[in-house]
Amino acid sequence: AVLKVALLGLGGYASRVAEAIQQCQRVKITGLISGTPEKLKQWGEKYKVPEKNRYNYQNFDAIKNNPDIDAVYVITPNALHHDQVIRSAKAGKHVICEKPMAISAKEGREMIEACKKAGKQLLVGYRMHFEPLTLEVVRMRSAGELGAIRFFQGLCGFRIGDPTQWRLNKALAGGGSLMDIGIYALNGSRYMVGEEPVWVTAQETKTDPVKFKEGVDETITFQLGFPSGAEASCLSTYNMNNLDRFFLNGDKGFAELQPAAGYGPIRGKTNKGPLDIKNPLPQQTIQMDEMAAILLDNKKPIVPVDGEEALKDLVLIEAIYKAVKTGGQVKLNAER
């Protein structure tokens, strides 16, 4: 079967997703939700979505009665995810939500609850969780090929432009670089090390307090401690270009990805040599076909992408922001 998806929010990333879906085996764009009538018309014609399947933010709850739509993919500014995911679930649809899932752990829990109550699945758009080189490193680590894991380093950043964009507006973004790009290093540490952190420490530096206002982080370094004794050291920034590297070291050897979280191609090597895996498809094509298998066939992904998994990142982001404020170590209880 094919997953019939409505895209909600027709901005920059939605364009990339829409193009990638054209190469999917099991996904079709059957609905569009936008606040801009011209975009609905343009995208509707381009992707052959009939007028009856085009909605705006006021009337999209009516997808409830539209059998052409199985799932909604929410691709709007972070602060809007909470309400839009809950409305989609209430309309009886599965939901795929872009990262970060929400702007607080409280919101994340409410979204999980709403989807559960509606009997629908909630997935988060973590495209790296399906990326072949990433999965090869995860496989090597679980097979013990790197030995006992001791250290992970995740460096993620880019230099952000236009100071008026929503990403630099705390109300819409929920934070700064950590919410947007540092989250790749954060969840990368979890799936690369293969454990959940028990403590965090963090430091913030700001070179431009005019562009990066209160609550919008420019650069954060953070450290995570894992139950085995492994540690992660990460950097998230909106002020360096071409910063995109993962490095995992065990007592036997290393695996490195650089670039690690960009749109691709991802490149990697280990102490034994280059990681030679060909991947001709866009990451979002693989992600969406795999998500169709999760939603339609209950396939279990190697690295989970459900709401509970994404909530762990929100809990950690809050812990990192708290560690920045207090300057101390923030402990995480195993029960999250």
Q: Which residues bind ligand NAD (CB under 6 A)?
A: 9-14, 35, 75-78, 80, 98-99, 125, 127, 166, 172, 180
Q: Which residue's CB is nearer to ligand NAD, number 110 or number 145?
A: 110
As measured in angstroms, the least distance from the Cβ of 184 to ligand NAD is 9
Q: Which residue in 166, 16, 163 sits closest to 103, CA to CA?
A: 166
| Burial of residue 300, with CB atoms counted within 10 A of its CB: 0-12 exposed, 13-18 middle, 19 or more buried | exposed
Token pair for residue 151?
């250290």
- Closer to ligand NAD by CB, 81 or 93: give it: 81
Q: Is 64 a catalytic residue?
A: no
Shortest CB 194 distance to ligand NAD, Å: 22
Q: Which of 4, 28, 99, 120 is catalytic?
A: 99
Nearer to ligand NAD, 216 or 230 (CB): 216
Nearer to ligand NAD, 7 or 330 (CB): 7
Report in angstroms how near the CB of residue 175 gets to ligand NAD at its nearest.
Answer: 11
Q: How far is the CB of 291 from ligand NAD (least distance, A)?
A: 12
Catalytic-residue membership of 99: yes
Identify the active-site residue in 55, 126, 184, 238.
Answer: 184
Q: Which is nearer to ligand NAD, 103 or 149 (CB)?
A: 103
CB of 242 to ligand NAD, least distance (A): 17
Active-site positions read 99, 184
